[in-house]
Chains A and B, each alone.
Chain A
Amino acid sequence: DAMVIQNPRYQVTQFGKPVTLSCSQTLNHNVMYWYQQKSSQAPKLLFHYYDKDFNNEADTPDNFQSRRPNTSFCFLDIRSPGLGDAAMYLCATSSPGAPLHFGNGTRLTVT
């Protein structure tokens, strides 16, 4: 089945230790998104790619970066995680204007 896969499902990292979250898709969608979601809050858009074109939200901290080496894969790098970065990180894909297809998410814990 075509899908969006995120790895790992759970990630524990130490304060300040870089961490990378990954996302892959078999849907061949142009657009890939990274959202951060904290408890009882709306998903907050961090970045999105339209093909190779990278779009950074104005309020995304510099601590967060992203890479999309090809259509299928996208990575979220957190250079120096703080306690406030603990959250669910959601990867999604879509064709422009169409509904989003979400991966299962990565729950990040910062100790």
Chain B
Amino acid sequence: QKEVEQNSGPLSVPEGAIASLNCTYSDRGSQSFFWYRQYSGKSPELIMFIYSNGDKEDGRFTAQLNKASQYVSLLIRDSQPSDSATYLCAVEASGGSYIPTFGRGTSLIVHP
């Protein structure tokens, strides 16, 4: 059973701070990793994807991947109240399967 683990939170940070969201996965051969944001009652939307070890930056968002530690994280700089949502980590299965497994998500609350 391939697993993707996230702390369900909530993670509460003040406006302007850095929010750090973490995800671990069990499938050592996974190659593709995704972060989705989901507002309450809405469907997930893609924030970032990362395929290689290291950091990938897009605006206020940075995804970090460490395949040796089977760990992927999402940093949100200058957090805004509009960033308050659930962040889902998804990991594509190895072995030629393209199907992602989702974590249960981390709830982020950014308070003014």
A and B together in one complex: yes
Residue in chain B with minimal CB distance to A44: B102
Size category of the B interface is: 20 to 34
Residue B8 at the chain A interface, CB threshold 8 Å: yes
Residue in chain B with minimal CB distance to A107: B41
Given contacts A43-B102, A48-B99, contact A97 B43 (CB under 8 A): no
What number of A residues sit within 8 Å (CB to CB) of B? 20
Check B104 against A40 for contact (C-beta < 8 Å).
yes
Residue B78 at the chain A interface, CB threshold 8 Å: no
Check B44 against A43 for contact (C-beta < 8 Å).
yes
Out of A41, A42, A105, which one reaches B42, CB within 8 Å?
A105
Check A104 against B88 for contact (C-beta < 8 Å).
no
Nearest 9 interchain pairs by C-beta = A96-B98, A102-B43, A42-B102, A42-B104, A105-B43, A99-B46, A97-B98, A43-B102, A102-B44
Which A residues contact B (CB, under 8 angstroms)? 31, 40-43, 45, 48, 88, 90, 94, 96-97, 99-105, 107
